Homo-oligomer: A and B are copies of this chain.
Amino acid sequence: MSGRGTNVQHHRAAGRPSVAVLSRGLIFETALRLLDERGENGFGMREIARALGVRPSALYNHVRSKEDVLDGIRDLIVARFDLSGFGVLPWDEALAQWARSYMGSFAAHPPTIAMLAVQPVAQGSRTSLMYEAVTAGLMDAGWPADRVFEVIVGLESFIIGSAFDQAAPQDMFDPSDDAGLSAMRRAYDAREQSLEGERPSSRAFERGLRVMLSGLRAELAQLNRDTDAD
C-alpha cells in the first residue's frame, strides 16, 4: 500500500521527510510521462506535484521554474541522440545517424516537440553539449566554420518539421468539412491511403533527408575544389 513513492495518498505532515521523496531526476521523468499521457494541457506544476504525492511548492526546492523542468525534459530526450558516428563514420553517415535518432526520439514524445522547438537551449545542459559534438564532428570533416551553423540549423529545421508532421498531421491541417478544398482533400486522402499502416511521414523524412544530404555532399565537394584551386 505504501512506499511506492509515486502515490502516497494520505496526509504527510510539514517538515523534512525521513526518506527523500523528490529529486530533479524524478521530477523530470514524471513530467515527461505526464506530458506524453495528457498532452500539453493538463501538464503543470500542480499536476506534476500530484503525481508525485507532494504539494506544488515542494517542487521548488529542487527546480527553479517550469522552464527548468522543460530543460530537464529536453535533456532526457537529447540523451538518446546517436552521436557515435562522428569521428568514426564518414561525416554524412554520422549526420544521417544523428538526424534519424533525433527524429525518432522526438517522435516518441509528440507533445514535447512543440514546447521544445520554441524554448531556447539552456546553458550548461546536455543539449548544448550535443550541439558541440555535432559542430566539432562537421568541422573535423572539413566543413568551414562559417557554414557549420547553417548546415545544422537547416537540417534541424527539417527534422523538427517532420517530427511535427509525424506527431499530429490530422490536427495541423485537416481539410475535413471545409468547402473549396478539393485538391487538399485529394492529396490528403491519397497520402493517407498510400501509407497503409506505415509510420506516417517516416517515408517523407527519409526522402527529404537523402535530398538534403546529397545537396550537402555536393556543396562540400565544391568547397574543396575551390580551395584546391587557390
| Residue A175 lies at the interface, judged by CB distance under 8 Å to chain B | yes
Interface size on A, residues (CB 8 A): 67
Contacts of A146 in B (CB 8 A): 187, 190-191, 193-194
The answer to whether A131 and B184 touch across the interface, beta carbons within 8 angstroms, is yes
**Cβ-neighbour of A203 out of B123, B129, B150, B189 (below 8 A):** B150
**Cβ-neighbour of A212 out of B124, B135, B193, B215 (below 8 A):** B215
The interface bits of chain A over 184-199 (1 if a CB of B lies within 8 angstroms of the residue's CB, else 0) are 1011111101100000
Interface residues of A in 146-177 (CB under 8 A from B): 146-150, 153-154, 156-162, 164-165, 168-169, 171-177
Bound: A82/B109 CA distance, A: 35
Give 20 pairs: A residue, B residue, CB < 8 Å, sorted on A: A117-B118, A128-B175, A128-B178, A129-B180, A131-B184, A135-B183, A135-B187, A139-B186, A145-B186, A146-B193, A150-B201, A154-B161, A154-B162, A154-B208, A157-B159, A157-B164, A158-B161, A207-B219, A211-B219, A214-B215
